[in-house]
Structure 1
Amino acid sequence: MSGPAFGDVPWLSRNKAGCRSSRAKGRVCCGVTPALPRIRKYRVMTTQRHMTQLATLPLVAYSAMTLGPSIFQLVINVMLPQLYAKELGLAFAKLGIALLAIRIIDSVLDQVAGILSDWTRHRLGSRKIWIALGMALMLGACFKLFIPPADVDIFYFVAWRVVYDIGWTLFHVSYTAWGAELSTNYEDRSRIAGYSGIATNLGVVLKSVAPIVLFWAGLTQSSAFTMESFTYLYWIALPVISLITLVTVLKTPPGPEVSRKSTDLKGLFRSVRCNPPFWIYITSFLVTALGQGITGLLFTFYDSYLQLGPFYPYLMTGFGVITVLSIPLWIRISNRVGKHRAYAASAFIAALSLQAFWLIDPVQNSQVQVAMYGGVVLLLVSFSTSCAFVAPAAILADVVDYATWRTGVARAGSYFAFYSLVTKIAMAVGNGFGFLLLGAFGYEVGAGAVNDASATFGLMFTVLLLPGGLMIAGGLIILRFPLTARRHAILQRRIARLQAAL
């Protein structure tokens, strides 16, 4: 009746070649603790349903924190650079280079944020201080970016975008690490990530509805996303975000305190090096993040090629609503088939849905028809991509558990910082590369711009075909991820035994 707890996955029951002798002698190897005794089958089959789930009220309070940043995150990362090109005259090529430079600067910040988040001690919780500071920096940077001076140049954009990214990094790294620590339950982690995703997309819906309401109220001349509409949105959202941040920081439960050893960079690198699930995970999300960065240019596709600028807020409102409604379904799918399989399926569906845009002809169809066809395709994309608000954070939390078992040190902040670093660089490279490709194909978006067939094909290739291929590749990679619900249950039992032995 006995056998290896992870017999079908060798690296879960023994170290890699070169480490076996140390492990056989009971010594720590490469910063990794010796393997724990094998677990009998009748003990392995214990599920996680008996583990305590996070109560609904603190879960809602935690999720509410992400509502504010989500209102502006898509605007800053996706729409604002394109509006700086369209309304303020900055060149696509300069913006592409600027975005790459910003990510190089930002690459240093993620690990610093992770270390600070793991190291800090405060009576309110080690994560909350950095979340509040990050929120303050984001709000200050949004003010400067949405209300630029008349003589704005690329250096102004870069400077305040860097300030915004510092704030976002401090907030996001601490927030996601905090979420990973709120529950050790495999299924509950999908629920926590899902609730957070719902709050995020409610912010997206509010952002999308705002230009429509402002237009109906006569405050703006169009329902399209413009610098003017985002300025109004900022002043409306500022007191709401401030109040939510204050209440959530004061009223939500803090995560558990972690070992100060987690601030050791050398130990972190050893932990990452000896973590095969992490490398499968990060490779998959690196590839998909490249595609996601390029799809940020869909705003230009809708506004310039399909000529749906005034319709775009309506479409994005529908996008956000469908995403919110789809997240509970993806939570159930993730818990039924496994988080990594659900994410792979969503990547495949998203990649195929994007290609349906090739069938839409803005010349042969009226603007209303184009809006209807484009809306159907966008809703398919929103359904599939909503899994991204459930699976990634929940999967990474399981990866952190594997690292905790191997090293005996909890490094949630540092791991989420490393993940944030890789994905932000990948998305920036994808987004910057997309801008450069559009410039290389000669695509123009200024007033009165005329694009030939070659430039139009360049736009379609850049925002549809290329990211679709990257999404499929990322989905195929994540299918190799080994930590299922059963294996994660074994990890939790081993971690508990390891902690009991300390």
Structure 2
Amino acid sequence: MATSFAPTFAEAPPRASKTAGLPTARLAAFSTLAAPVAAAQVPITNFLPAFYAQTFGISLAALGMIFLAERLWGAFADPFVGVLSDRTRSRFGRRRPWIAGGAAIYGLATAALFFPPAGVTPLYLGLALFAFYLGWAMIQIPYLAWSGEISGEYHERTRIATFVTVASSVSLLLVMLLPALIDQFRPGDDRLRMAGMGAVILATLIPAAFLTLRAFPEAPAPSALRQKGPGLVTTLRLIAREKLLLRVIFSDMAVTFGQGVRGALFIFVVTFYMELPKLGAALMLAQFIFGIAAGPIWMTIAKRFGKHHTAIAGELVQVAINFALLLLAPGSVGLLIALTLAQGLAQGSGNLMLRAMVADIADRHRLETGEDRTALFYSAFSISMKAGMALAVGVALPLVGAAGFDPAAAHNSPAALQVLLIVFAVGPALAHLASAALLRGFTLDQETHEKVRRELDRRAAATA
């Protein structure tokens, strides 16, 4: 992608005032791209391992290694996408070309994963996931950076993150609705279930990309931007020096690890431990419905107490919920439903707040160095997401497999099922506890950030 042309967008994005905020309709249009991007995440984590294990006979150990390798590849590539996006020069802006190219790759890879041919091999799965995560990075990193550049207001960024989170949750609601319905009328038809979810993703990708790319103009790249981006070692040093960014990165890694373990084992627990095979997709659907309702609730709490305090509170709630899962017993449907819905209400707090905090950290970095590295910081943040998911799948699936659990077997021993439940409950509980601990003493609160923004605005006015 060319990096030597000056941008032609002279118009800056509409600045949010403290009273009016960004136009709701345009913000809703911008957030639509989160729908197809997020829609594949839970199916790939929750349904795809079980589908490829049961339909094509790929072992849990092989699946764990494939997912671990692919997520680590994504974590390695993301910083380069972030740096190149920050340095890109084109008449379309810095973010748009990457999003458009990534959408094409993402669509092709989604079709390969959700509509596989007969006789799939581990090599086929590995190549499809390689392309999927490349396309995902090309969309997600510039998109997150752009979302942090639309407004510099502390609470308005929380509002933007809330719109994006709600759009993600709505897409997950749609993509989970089909397998829930299919399980009621065609139980056991895994191919139909995967095809339905893939169809939702592909059908929403093109219109969502169109709406997002036209929602807001991009702000001109900062004039101090150097034409040559930093190398790998310099990039790693830049990230390592940002202590607050490292806190957010590792906190999010813990969050995604907990969510990944829970997601990878959820269908197995409901189907084999709880002996409720028809309830798995329906429970996940209900969880995401409650997750949609929780987005505005957490946004309201954050306005009162601040982002990092809200994130800590949400993570501690998750710790209690996950430890309570140890009380589950076969047939305890009421407790399972209650804990699943509670997770839906709590799960969005960390994801939402941490994403909004990255843009604040990028502002402080720009004030201190004069360099705009928003996309780089979001790419580093995405490393935590992929590394957390990689570790979750790479640890959870081989661990329960080593304990004797086999999803293709007609029966599993009580000991294997008990280990399945323990990993499902304790792993996420400890991860959310670590996430909360990492956010203690976070210093970039609303008052500090407002001082940063005032100084940035003063410098911009002086330059103008």
2:250 pairs with 272, 283, 288, which one?
Answer: 283
**1:446 matched to 2:414:** no
Distance 1:244 1:496 in 2: 32
Aligned residue in 1 for 2:445: 484
How does 1:108-147 map onto structure 2 within 5 Å? 108-147=76-115
Cα distance in 1 between the residues matched to 2:274 and 2:176: 18
Q: C-alpha displacement at 1:133, in angstroms?
A: 1.8
1:254 to 215, 218, 221: 218
SS at match of 1:390: helix
Residue type matched to 2:229 in 1? T
Which range is displaced more, 412-421 or 294-303?
294-303
Q: Of the candidates 193, 201, 223, which is equivalent to residue 161 of structure 2? A: 193
Query: Does structure 1 residue 399 correspond to structure 2 residue 361?
Result: yes
Task: Give me the whole-angstrom Cα distance separating, in 2, the residues matched to 1:211 and 1:78.
Answer: 12
Using the TM superposition, give the Cα deviation of residue 225 of structure 1 relative to its aligned residue in structure 2, in angstroms: 7.7
Once residues 263 and 501 of structure 1 are traced to their aligned partners in structure 2, the CA distance between those partners, rounded to angstroms, is 26
CA contact under 8 A between 2:68 and 2:391: conserved in structure 1? yes
C-alpha distance in 2, partners of 1:115/1:142? 26
Per the alignment, residue 385 of structure 1 pairs with: 347
Matches within 5 A, 1:49-88: 50=18, 53-88=21-56
**Letter of the aligned partner of 2:248 in structure 1?**
Y
8 Å CA contact 2:260, 2:393 repeated in 1:
yes
**Equivalent residues of 1:326, 1:383 under 8 A apart:** yes
How much does 1:447 deviate?
4.0
Deviation of 1:278 (Å) = 1.6
- Contact map agreement 1:272 1:403 (CA 8 A) in 2: no
Q: Report the CA distance shift for 1:214/1:437 in structure 2 as closer, same or farther (over 3 A).
A: closer
Please give the per-residue CA displacement for 1:449-482, whole angstroms capped at 9, x wherever unaligned: 32232x1222122111122012112102212211
- Is contact 1:288-1:470 (8 Å) kept? yes
Q: Which SS does the other structure have where 2:91 is aligned?
A: coil
**Counterpart position of 2:204:** 240
Alpha-carbon deviation of 1:51?
7.7
Alpha-carbon distance, 1:483 to partner: 0.7
Task: State the partner residue of 1:176.
Answer: 144
Counterpart in the other structure of 2:323: 355
Cα deviation 1:32-52 (Å, max 9, x = unaligned): xxxxxxxxxxxxxxxx97487
What are the ranges of 5 or more consecutive residues in structure 1 without an aligned counterpart? Answer: 1-47
CA RMSD of aligned residues (A): 2.2
- Give the 3 Å change call, closer, same or farther, for CA 448–109 of structure 1 in structure 2: same
Aligned partners of 2:406 and 2:412 also within 8 Å: yes
Aligned match of 1:473 in 424, 434, 440? 434
Q: In 2 relative to 1, CA 115–460 (structure 1 residues): closer, same or farther, beyond 3 Å?
A: same
- Single out whichever of 285-294 and 188-197 deviates more from structure 2: 285-294
Quote how far apart the aligned CAs of 1:268 are.
Answer: 4.1
Distance 1:234 1:428 in 2: 22
Q: Which residue of 1 aligns with 2:262?
A: 295
Match of 1:231 among 195, 204, 216: 195
Q: Secondary structure at the match of 2:347?
A: helix
Is residue 326 of structure 1 aligned with residue 278 of structure 2? Answer: no
Of 193-202 and 458-467, the range deviating more from structure 2 = 458-467
Contact 1:114 1:413 in 2 (8 A): yes
What secondary structure sits across from 2:250 in the alignment? helix
Match of 2:186 among 218, 221, 236: 221
SS of residue paired to 1:254 = coil
Match of 1:37 in 2: none
Aligned residue in 2 for 1:30: none
How big is the shift at 1:419? 1.3
Of 436, 441, 456, the residue aligned with 2:398 is 436
User: What secondary structure sits across from 1:87 in the alignment?
Assistant: helix
**1:409 counterpart SS class:** coil
Deviations, residues 203-259 of structure 1 (Å, cap 9, x unaligned): 01001111244567xxx622x682322213433553332222223323433244245
Query: Match of 2:355, as an amino acid?
Result: A
Q: Normalising by structure 2, report the TM-score.
A: 0.90
Larger Rg: 1
Cα distance in 2 for partners of 1:235, 1:289 equals: 26
Any unmatched runs of 5+ in structure 2?
1-15
